[in-house]
Structure 1
């Protein structure tokens, strides 16, 4: 077998997530703390692809999940406890996408090294793995809704669907890559789960010890606010405004659009702040017709919301939907 280790995988991964090469328990891995981060590559001349992962998760949790698809077909999901995942191929060229697709709020991703960890990819001796052709990139900044939690039901990890939530649906429709910067329960005022701090802190860090060098997306979409709904309005306004200034400084060359949360929390405040910064504000009223729990879109709602968003942002990318 021809085996590709984390340093060789880092370059293909930079377009599609917040990844870093880390040494965890004397094990070198390609590491991310973000649901929805994925690795997109091209495999040629191999009858199989073998993905080897490390299942670093809370002892109280259910373990992590990966999703994988070949040539844009249906996603298949695999528990990380398998550690080795074998995917049959033909020797023809194939585009492979491997996504961090399920974890739990109990996983200490920020301070406990319990993020997603890829050890290697392997192909036949005659096979070759290269980066997939580059595409335009969208950065999605948000919370559990953007990360892809609770789409298929109420079971953590097993029912998460970052591969088919509104952000993934949108990116597929406009044929772009995407980088997810989103954590469950997080906001501009409320820290996220897994030890993750507020958005102003997690924007530039993958975890407590791993800074992230911002990429160069063609568009940035911000969907935050719903988890801050129990804080005073004036406190939200001040902090959200400061965070948007931080986003514009972090991505000076990219158009930035602000989404009103599907729940419509802070609609007036976000609209005012967006206009103050001369940014497009996307009204999402009636975008999501169905939810898993009254807050998180279910699969039907996520698909429709993603279709709406794709139509709105397509002109920024020179695309048609």
Structure 2
């Protein structure tokens, strides 16, 4: 079989996630700490496709999960534990996507190297792998709701759905590539799970030892704040203001839109800060009519939110393309 290693895969993944190359048991892996990061490519002339993946999860929690989609058909989910994901394909050209789709708050993604890793992609000897044509890029910055946690229920990893949460649905509707910069429980003041620090730090890094070189999106959507609700209001205002300034300077060529959290926490404060920076603040009242736990949208709720967001941001994306 013909095998593509991480160094060959990295250029194909840089538009669709925060990926880097790391060593795992002395072998390189295409590595990310972000749920919703994916590899999107075109494969031609092969009847089979085999992803070899790592499963560097915490032994105290369930294993990691990946999602795979071929030619925009429904996503299929695979446990990482076997270490391989095999697909059978018909002759011709196919669009293939593989996404980091499930982990747990126990996975030490920041300092313990317990993120997601793709070791290789193999196909028939006559097969070829090429990059997909460029599309508009949207960066989604947020917390567990943006990462896609708890969409299908209350079981960590198994019930996460970054492939079908509001960010994914919005990007699909607009024909855009997306980069997820989101961690469970994170906020402007509150550190995220997995050892991940606050948003001002995780924006700049993939993990403790890896600086992220910012990409060049047409649009950045920020959905943060709900996890800061237990901090004093003046502290939140100061921290959120600093973070939005950081976002605008990190992505100087992009339009930046701020979402009021679906829970409506800090609605007035986020609106004031957005207007100070001359940014659009998007009203999300009524966007998520159903949830799994009173806070995280379920599949029906997040689908509705994705449709609303796509309708709201299409003018901002169109003027940048």
TM-score, length of structure 2 as denominator length: 0.99
RMSD of aligned alpha carbons: 0.7
Query: In 2, Cα distance between the equivalents of 1:55 and 1:287?
Result: 35
1:21 aligns to 2:29 (yes or no): no
State the Cα deviation string for residues 261-320 of structure 1 (Å, max 9, x = none).
00000000000000000000001000111000000000000000000000000111229x
Aligned to 2:183: 183
Query: In 1, Cα distance between the equivalents of 2:47 and 2:24?
Result: 31
Structural mapping, 1:52-67, within 5 Å: 52-67=52-67
Cα distance, 1:48 vs structure 2: 0.9
SS in 1 for 2:111: coil
Which ranges of 4 or more aligned residues in structure 1 deviate by more than 4 Å?
none
1:165 aligns to 2:165 (yes or no): yes
Cα distance, 1:6 vs structure 2: 0.1
SS in 2 for 1:81: coil
Query: In 1, Cα distance between the equivalents of 2:84 and 2:207?
Result: 25
Query: In 2, Cα distance between the equivalents of 1:201 and 1:309?
Result: 26
Cα distance, 1:130 vs structure 2: 1.0
Query: In 2, Cα distance between the equivalents of 1:316 and 1:45?
Result: 38
Aligned to 1:131: 131
Cα distance, 1:147 vs structure 2: 0.1
Query: In 1, Cα distance between the equivalents of 2:91 and 2:42?
Result: 11
Cα distance, 1:60 vs structure 2: 0.3
Structural mapping, 1:212-251, within 5 Å: 212-251=212-251
Aligned to 1:199: 199
Aligned to 1:307: 307
Query: In 2, Cα distance between the equivalents of 1:24 and 1:122?
Result: 19
Q: Mind listing any 5+ residue stretches in structure 2 that lack a counterpart?
A: none
SS in 1 for 2:285: coil
SS in 2 for 1:82: coil
Query: In 1, Cα distance between the equivalents of 2:119 and 2:24?
Result: 11
TM-score, length of structure 1 as denominator length: 0.99
Aligned to 1:290: 290
Query: In 1, Cα distance between the equivalents of 2:262 and 2:158?
Result: 23
Query: In 2, Cα distance between the equivalents of 1:88 and 1:188?
Result: 44
How many residues are treated as equivalent by the alignment? 319
Query: In 2, Cα distance between the equivalents of 1:240 and 1:262?
Result: 17
Query: In 2, Cα distance between the equivalents of 1:61 and 1:116?
Result: 15
Q: Mind listing any 5+ residue stretches in structure 1 that lack a counterpart?
A: none
Query: In 2, Cα distance between the equivalents of 1:154 and 1:93?
Result: 38
State the Cα deviation string for residues 6-40 of structure 1 (Å, max 9, x = none).
00000000000000011122121000000000000
Query: In 2, Cα distance between the equivalents of 1:134 and 1:52?
Result: 26
Aligned to 1:34: 34
Query: In 2, Cα distance between the equivalents of 1:287 and 1:55?
Result: 35
SS in 2 for 1:167: helix
